[in-house]
Amino acid sequence: MKKENRKMAQERRAHEREAEARKQKAKKVIPIMIVVGVIAVVVIGIIATSGLLDGRKSDGSSVSSSSGDIVTTINTDSTGNANSNGGTADSSAAASQDTASQSTASASDASASSSSSSSSKESLNTTAGTVVQKGDTVNIDYTGYLNGEAFDGGSTNGAGTDLTLGSGTYIDGFEDQVEGHKVGETFDINVTFPENYGVSDLNGQEVTFTVTINGVYQ
């Protein structure tokens, strides 16, 4: 019995030792596990934080990208408008060029007209005996007489002046009495100034003009 008890006692001690050893190991392992756990928590936290930051960056990139798209759209619209305005400017420039061309054409026409007029003057027919008619433009000299005396402002003083017969430029009866006469001819015509002519000495007065036809434009 004693041997058995000893054996049992030894076995029990052995179990106790093993249990104690396990406890000691557990005591050593637990702090390590705690440290590992803390480290794991920290790592997980870092990973989670990093993921969150990446997500925010991604969101920021999306927003930035969206903003970029908006800016691009705005720029595109602005460019479109600019192009449209450019088209309007081109149209305006074309219109201005057309206007300038028309102005140039008008100036050219005016110049041509002036040249034509000059040409007409250069082609003044001074051939004596040429009969002038209504519608002809003639070059004449005249001197007006009131009661036999020349009155102020009633003479061309030999400078000559152009008159289109039938234009009604001169007082009534003047142009009609020039018609039918000839180039180189000098003659008298009698006319009456209107009552409201505006010159007190001539209002309603009968006067005589001595007229010479210098030539007719043809």
pLDDT tens, position by position, 116-138: 444 445 699 999 999 999 999 99
181 Cβ neighbours under 8 A, 6+ residues apart: 131, 132, 187, 211, 213
Q: Which residue has the higher pLDDT, 49 or 148?
A: 148
Extended strands (E) in 79-147: 124-125, 137-146
Share of the chain above pLDDT 90, in %: 44
Q: Is the pLDDT of residue 10 over 60?
A: yes
pTM for this one?
Answer: 0.46
Q: Is the pLDDT of residue 94 over 60?
A: no
> pLDDT confidence of 109, banded at 50, 70, 90?
low
Chain-centre distance of CA 35, in angstroms?
80
Q: Which tokens is 208 given? A: 């005589």
Tell me the CATH class for 124-217.
alpha beta
CA distance 176 to 197: 19
Mean pLDDT of the chain: 76
Closest CA to 133 of 188, 187, 181, 168: 181
Q: What is the pLDDT of residue 30?
A: 77
Closest CA to 151 of 91, 75, 206, 85: 206
- For Cα atoms 185, 187, 191, give the angle at the middle one, nearest 5 degrees: 140
Q: What is the pLDDT of residue 161?
A: 98
CA distances from 7 to 13, 16, 100, 133, 207 (A): 10, 14, 132, 171, 180
Average pLDDT over residues 11-31: 80
Average pLDDT over residues 176-200: 97
> pLDDT confidence of 56, banded at 50, 70, 90?
low
Q: What is the pLDDT of residue 51?
A: 67
Q: What is the pLDDT of residue 63?
A: 40
